[in-house]
Chains A and B, each alone.
Chain A
Amino acid sequence: MTNALRDALHQVADGSPSVPVPSGLFDRARRDRLRHRLTGLAAAALALSSIGLAAQIALPPTPAATDTTVDPLPAHIVHAPAWTADIRHAPLRRALVAFDNDGFDIGYTVDMERGESVPHPIGPLTLVGPDDAYRAYDLSDAGDHWDGTVELSPDGRYVMTGHGQHTRLLDVATGDARTLEAGTPLAFSPDSRQAVLVSWDNPSYLHPVRGAINVVDLPSGAVAWSAPLADGPLPREVQAALSPDGSTLIVQRRGDLYTYGREHGVGWTRSLSMTGGIAGQLAWTPDGRSIAVDMMDLCLLDADTGVTGRCLQWQAMLTRMPEREQTFAKPIILDWADGAPIVTMGRDVVRLTEVAEILMRTPRTDTVGALTVASSRVQWTPRQPGPPDPGPLVHRYRPLLVGAGWAIAVLALGYILIRLRRRRAPSDRRDTAQQG
């Protein structure tokens, strides 16, 4: 068998057509090898970049479990660049400042029940973190329209925004946002562990105005205790701030000011001029003995009796400040430094000493809305900021990259299917031919 088959095979081989080898194969092979290596390197770099990109998109950095550091406040902040990353995709260690770039940037929606257009700000909010890190917080996909209220927790970890009858709570350190159903935001507690929300029983245009102020735990949103709001006149307006020990609320409804204790209910009550009000979520002094209220002057009320104590003389035009630096707004307490309050006034952060000192300015060219500062995590000695860091560029183009990834996956799948069909087709035809 072996010899016959061997001879036949040699005959086939000897009678085979010549197989030419082109000249220059040696150099061509080496060029091809170099090209293959470069292609491989490029592919490996591309693959590594893709993996890094995917990891960056999919896995936001995990925040530190306990972050108690204090960061200096930038002396001024700027408009966030157009390519600034969204906070939900690129979280920060904490936010030091939150503000609405343009308070006049508003949209309108039609309220079918009232038959009228209702204005609402559009945003997005700008968050400024340590080391000049800027992030955008787009509220356009939050369900109900943003009503313009925004609060930043004193530790810089959470941002609350109001939407219809509920609150959206953003965890700055993870980028996760959740809904708190217990009402719309009024204030954070001074220790940032609780939030004060208000819920209303009737629609905004129906008399009487009634509801409840709910103190909720964070981040769960579970109601810890509530203070009822008795029937009152339209429009519905309320402000509240929680005492440092979390036991008492200071509540303002139009011209009425009163305290409400968790254990003993309503404490003292007094009237105010309609122009003033509670000086923000940190209106209580850190010792819990006084409450700062704007009464034309910024005055301290005794927390136990409501009696007016020391008042800080200040005017809408800040003393000895040049006109170009003037700022006009109701003061919101951020902190107390050596007895002098540090406040936000419109678009600026100001230390209200005898000669007012501007600590931080927001962009001058536009009206800035909803400026808040993480007061317990900033150092009130401002520093000159560096250029803004808008976060990883990849997050700006995230939709484009995700779309391109899907397109590549679909094309690859289509290519594989076509190849498989082409490979199967000849064998199918062969089988058909044999059956025929």
Chain B
Amino acid sequence: MDTAQARAAFEEFVAGRSAALGRTAYLLTGHRQDAEDLLQSALARAAVRWSRLDDPEAYVRRVLYTQSVSRWRALRRRPPELLTDQPPQTAATEPCHDTRVVLDLALRRLTPKQRAVLVLRYYEDRSESDTAEVLGCSVGTVKSQTRHALMRLRALNPQLAQLVDGRLPQEVPAR
């Protein structure tokens, strides 16, 4: 495959699969900018070895997961916002009771590895051994990370406790 063919195939792949890959990247990072950065980084890695890839999507997904838990990547991540003693310029909003939003916010409170395990196990429906293989860790680590992630979700919000325990979350009336 020459370069022109590889470029065309790559662009076709990006056009077809970037939306789905972007969603996964968002789940793994919890921020749009970080997701964009993560996805571009994974696609760039795929681009330089495109002609040698048998299953590009599997490769890109694997890079997404491994990079999302990479220590080096964590070092390059944007610095956190600075806390100041100034009051916020906008008033605090009412607590949100939409399960989707609550889960979205709760995922951001997990560690990168816990998020990756949850996404692989419950979003992609992978087995524990598959998850361990993708993340390059032991099955025991996957089990413990899953357990800690679910415990953390339970602790963060009662709605999520219901969700984790398998009950449909009940809408809490807004005050």
Contacts and interface: CB of A to CB of B under 8 A. Distances in A.
Nearest to A6: B122
A110 interface: no
A16 B79 CA distance: 23
Interface string B138-175: 00000000000000000000000001111111000000
Nearest to B167: A4
B18 A5 contact: no
Contacts of A3: 166
Contacts of B25: 19
Nearest to A11: B100
A12 B44 contact: no
B99 interface: yes
Given A13-B27, A20-B36, A26 B6 contact: yes
Given A19-B22, A19-B35, A12 B104 contact: yes
B18 A4 contact: no
Interface string B120-138: 0011010000000000000
Interface string A17-31: 111111001111110
Interface string B29-59: 0001001100110011101101000000000
A27 B47 CA distance: 8
B32 A27 contact: no
Contact of B99 (A6, A8, A14, A33): A8
B88 interface: no
Contacts of B166: 1-4
A264 interface: no
Contacts of A398: none
Contacts of B47: 25-26, 29-30
B40 A10 contact: no
Q: What secondary structure prevails in chain A residues at the interface with B?
A: helix
A151 B110 CA distance: 78
Interface string B5-26: 0110011001000110111111
B53 to A, nearest CB: 13
Contact of A29 (B48, B83, B123): B48
Contacts, number: 106
Interface in A176-224: none
A9 interface: yes
Contact of B164 (A1, A14, A29, A426): A1
B103 interface: yes
B79 A19 contact: no
Contacts of A419: 75
Contacts of A11: 99-100, 103
A33 B100 contact: no
A22 B19 contact: no
Contact of A21 (B14, B83, B99, B103): B14
B115 to A, nearest CB: 10
Contacts of B27: 9, 12-13, 16
Counting from the closest, the 5 A-B pairs by CB-CB distance are A19-B22, A29-B44, A29-B47, A1-B166, A13-B23
Interface of B: 6-7, 10-11, 14, 18-19, 21-27, 32, 35-36, 39-40, 43-45, 47-48, 50, 75, 79-80, 83, 99-100, 103-104, 107, 118-119, 122-123, 125, 163-169
Interface of A: 1-6, 8-22, 25-30, 32-33, 419, 422-423, 426, 429, 433
